[in-house]
Amino acid sequence: MSDSLTYAYYPGCSGTGTSIEYDMSTRAVCAELGITLTEIPDWSCCGSTPAHTVDHTLSSALSARNLALVEKMNLDTAITPCPSCLTNLKTATHRMKKDGFRDKVNKLLDTPYQGGVATKSVLQIIVEDMGLKALKDKAVKPLKGLKVAAYYGCIMNRPPEVMNFDDPEHPMAMDNIMTALGATVLPFPLKVECCGASFGIPRKDIVMSLSGKLLDAAKDIGAEALVTACPLCQMNLDLRQDQVNSAAGTNHHIPVFYYTQLIGLALGLSEKELGIDKLCVDPRKVINAIGRDETS
């Protein structure tokens, strides 16, 4: 089975910077699971939100340059950990099915993109191509005793006809992974509510309010940790948690893991290679408690 799990890998810009631990843990987990990632050589930025707010042809061209590189690799599927990159790659693919639009995009490129590369999230291929059972079988340190809320953010599954994975209002992929690995997953009512996205710099007040609500809700349901699949969500909830506390007069101290970090812990990988030390809110207490309540 493992020889078929080979993908073109698009890390995304934040994976080389502020979400480096997401990239590290993704690579480590995939290697352990027998999933082969071949990084797209010389990949460039997808343009993220700013590009599509300026023009859709420009935005799609920035994505299509990368898809054209995948065509040269002779691989049929590109995967990325980042939902924002994923949205751009998928939207470009979706829109370029129309000849007129594809021609406009290709006019901006050195190498035109023919179409035909499938794009998926790393989360999707772990759930669909690898499968929960295979994942569970490889877990050597179950996450027993960890009470976690899975937070998906807004665009991993929406709009459904473009993203084509899981449920747009009530996604379960991360919930199911965490349950399979032995954690207690609490029902989190705000799992697809927006965290404030990239407004942290230009309109901090917005992120304070929206991310504040998410942290309040996580606390209310008794979550000891949040688990995310999005670099921007993770940054708003983890790096900005003290800012939220100051703005709202709260005292949250909730670690925010990437789901790949928790899979990695369950697979017995070292904290170092999963970049656990790069999280801002100290996860020590939560990690130490894993596995302890089996006798209680």
Residues that bind other proteins (CB under 8 A): 13-14, 16-21, 42-45, 47-58, 61-62, 65, 104, 107-110, 154-155, 158-160, 168-169, 192-194, 196-203, 205-206, 209-210, 239-240, 242-243, 277-278, 280
Helix (H) or strand (E) segment spanning residue 6: strand 6-9
State the DSSP H helix or E strand holding residue 225, giving kind and residue range, or none if neither: strand 225-228
Beta carbon nearer to other proteins, 33 or 239: 239
Smallest distance from other proteins to CB 162, Å: 9
Question: At its nearest, how many Å lie between other proteins and the CB of residue 204?
Answer: 8
Q: How far is the CB of 295 from other proteins (least distance, A)?
A: 36
Nearer to other proteins, 109 or 134 (CB): 109
The token duo for 245 is: 């506390």
Would you state the structure tokens that stand for residue 198, as one six-digit string? Answer: 């990239």
| Least Å from the CB of residue 267 to other proteins | 23
Nearest to other proteins of 120, 240 (CB atom): 240
CB closer to other proteins out of 203 and 284 = 203
d(C-alpha 293, C-alpha 142), whole Å: 12
Q: Whole-angstrom Cα distance, residue 245 to residue 224?
A: 17
Q: Smallest gap, in angstroms, from Cβ of residue 179 to other proteins?
A: 25
Shortest Å, Cβ 183 to other proteins:
25
How far is residue 161's CA from residue 168's CA, in Å, rounded to a whole number?
10
Contact between 244 and 204 (Cβ < 8 Å): no
Backbone angles phi, psi at 127, to 5 degrees: -75, -45
Give the ranges where the chain is alpha helix by DSSP (H). Answer: 20-33, 48-54, 56-72, 83-95, 99-106, 122-125, 132-138, 160-163, 173-180, 204-220, 231-234, 241-248, 259-266, 284-289
Nearer to other proteins, 144 or 278 (CB): 278
**63 vs 182, beta carbon nearer other proteins:** 63
